[in-house]
């Protein structure tokens, strides 16, 4: 009797809140509610509203303020000293990678997706626990039963479902493993981009230095050519030829500096501060238990055919799809084929990695051989230049010969540095391809935006 009173009170509260809002025609509800518009059109998938797409929240709290670049009296760009105080003067690869992975939104996105998938596992496991539901019903609003209301409360507990929930949990756990792998891929990609940018910066710093040395060398030849032309020793065309080569060298310097600044800008975006003043240290090498409770108010309870009747029941339900038109068998075949396709994809990735490793190894070996030849070539061109200088003084060589020898020296030096940093870039790529990024850059057993990789 006590249970009946409690449930009657519950039913009364529920009905009190909604009994005045029951109507036989849903589309006429605007008359009572005022806020419901049944004629309101839905948003079309084929129509794009640029204004609505422009409303989004951008969080720039993690973005460090970039240093302001000013121009000194000498014309060279300088950084504000008050801002550059927090920029490290020297940094290694590990420190740069750690800074990038802690701030990049790609890592944040992949970790958030991983957390969402972890919640999906809890959703799948919820099938093991009791399920509660409730509702309110009315009689036929088109007949004399329109005054009847009934509140019901149902409780369901799964007893045995032949492994359905367990399968769903296993599927979600497999998806969790996939998302974890995607987080690792994001970490590897960011680390690769950071290290590759640093190696490229070092490459173009060396090449820029060689280009400056080339300008100085050609400038000295141009001075000698001018002196000889004024003294009448050589042709007046020699200074013009030297000036032409000097301008070409200056143009080459601009190109190399542009490449350097592009990679510096890319690394600046990755790390969040200006990197032009940083010195980089690079070390190389179903059966369920169902319970229900219902109370009829101002009417007949259909469960026991009693006026204002109270009814509770405990029952066992067994449900199964005996025949679904062959869908179950087809789903089994589809799952089998999907598993076979996944295994084939793993084999494909393995072969791709093996192929890339072989190509990288071949590239490194060839570049090492090339550097040996280029070093011999550079020594030969230096000797040639010295010989041409003596012959130019004697009048047996032209300024063009001197310019060609000077250009050959710096060309060989540039090719040597390019080959050297090609090897470094190949090593960086090898680290990524073979999955050794986290070991080399010490990303294991540290907190990365709340995520930790256990080796």
What's the token pair of residue 132? 């509660």
pLDDT given for residue 248 in this prediction: 93
pLDDT given for residue 260 in this prediction: 95
In this prediction the pTM is 0.73
Q: What is the mean pLDDT of each run of 10 residues along the chain (455 residues)?
A: 37 34 40 46 60 62 49 47 62 92 91 91 90 79 67 85 87 90 92 94 95 93 87 82 92 95 94 89 56 49 54 56 67 83 88 91 91 91 90 86 92 93 92 89 88 82
pLDDT given for residue 133 in this prediction: 87
pLDDT given for residue 190 in this prediction: 94
pLDDT given for residue 397 in this prediction: 85
Residues paired with 301 in a beta bridge: 306
Please report the DSSP string for 268-334 in residue order. HHHHSS--TTPEEE-----EEEEEEEEEEESSEETTTTEET-EEEEEEEEE---S--TTHHHHHHHH
Tokens 């080459």 -> residue = 252
User: In order of start, what are the domains of the chain with their CATH numbers?
Assistant: 2-24+67-320+357-450 (1.20.1600.10)
Structural contact between residues 312 and 103, judged by C-beta atoms closer than 8 angstroms: no
CB atoms closer than 10 angstroms to residue 79:
15
pLDDT given for residue 5 in this prediction: 37
pLDDT given for residue 157 in this prediction: 86
Structural contact between residues 7 and 312, judged by C-beta atoms closer than 8 angstroms: no
Give the separation between CA 186 and CA 134, rounded to whole angstroms: 45
Phi, psi of 300, rounded to the nearest 5 degrees: -105, 130
pLDDT given for residue 454 in this prediction: 82
């Amino acid at each position: 009797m006590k249970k009946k009173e409690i449930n009657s009170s519950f039913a009364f509260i529920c009905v009190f809140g909604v009994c005045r809002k029951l109507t036989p025609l849903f589309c006429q509800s605007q008359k009572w509610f005022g806020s419901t518009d049944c004629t309101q059109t839905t948003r079309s998938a084929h129509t794009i509203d640029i204004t609505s797409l422009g409303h989004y929240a951008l969080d720039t709290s993690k973005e460090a303020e970039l240093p302001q670049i000013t121009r000194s009296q000498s014309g060279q760009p300088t950084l504000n000293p008050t801002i550059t105080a927090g920029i490290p003067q020297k940094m290694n690869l590990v420190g740069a990678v750690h800074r990038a992975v802690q701030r990049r939104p790609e890592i944040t996105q992949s970790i958030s997706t991983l957390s969402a998938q972890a919640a999906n596992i809890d959703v799948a496991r919820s099938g093991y626990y009791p399920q509660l539901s409730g509702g309110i019903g009315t009689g036929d609003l088109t007949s004399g039963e329109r005054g009847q209301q009934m509140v019901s409360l149902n409780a369901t507990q799964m007893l045995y479902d032949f492994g359905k929930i367990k399968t769903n949990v296993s599927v979600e756990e497999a998806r969790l493993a996939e998302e974890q792998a995607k987080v690792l891929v994001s970490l590897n990609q960011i680390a690769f981009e950071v290290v590759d940018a640093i190696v490229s910066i070092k490459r173009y710093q060396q090449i820029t230095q060689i280009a400056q040395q080339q300008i100085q060398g050609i400038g000295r030849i141009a001075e000698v050519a001018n002196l000889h032309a004024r003294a009448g020793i050589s042709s007046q065309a020699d200074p013009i030829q030297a000036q032409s080569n000097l301008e070409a060298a200056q143009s080459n310097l601009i190109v190399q500096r542009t490449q350097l600044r592009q990679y510096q800008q890319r690394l600046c975006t990755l790390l969040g501060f200006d990197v032009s003043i940083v010195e980089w240290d690079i070390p190389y090498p179903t059966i369920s238990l169902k319970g229900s409770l219902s109370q009829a108010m101002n009417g007949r309870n259909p469960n026991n055919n009693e006026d204002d009747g109270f009814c509770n029941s405990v029952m066992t339900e067994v449900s199964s799809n005996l025949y679904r038109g062959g869908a179950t068998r087809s789903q089994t075949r589809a799952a089998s084929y999907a598993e076979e396709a996944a295994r084939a994809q793993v084999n494909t990735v393995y072969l791709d990695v093996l192929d890339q490793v072989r190509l990288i190894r071949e590239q490194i070996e060839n570049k090492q051989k090339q550097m040996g030849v280029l070093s011999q070539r550079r020594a030969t061109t230096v000797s040639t230049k010295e010989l041409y200088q003596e012959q130019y003084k004697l009048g047996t060589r032209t300024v063009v010969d001197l310019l060609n020898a000077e250009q050959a020296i710096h060309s060989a030096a540039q090719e040597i540095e390019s080959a050297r940093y090609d090897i470094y870039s190949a090593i960086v790529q090898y680290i990524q391809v073979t999955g050794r990024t986290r070991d080399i850059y010490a990303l294991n057993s540290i907190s990365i935006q709340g995520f930790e990789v256990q080796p």
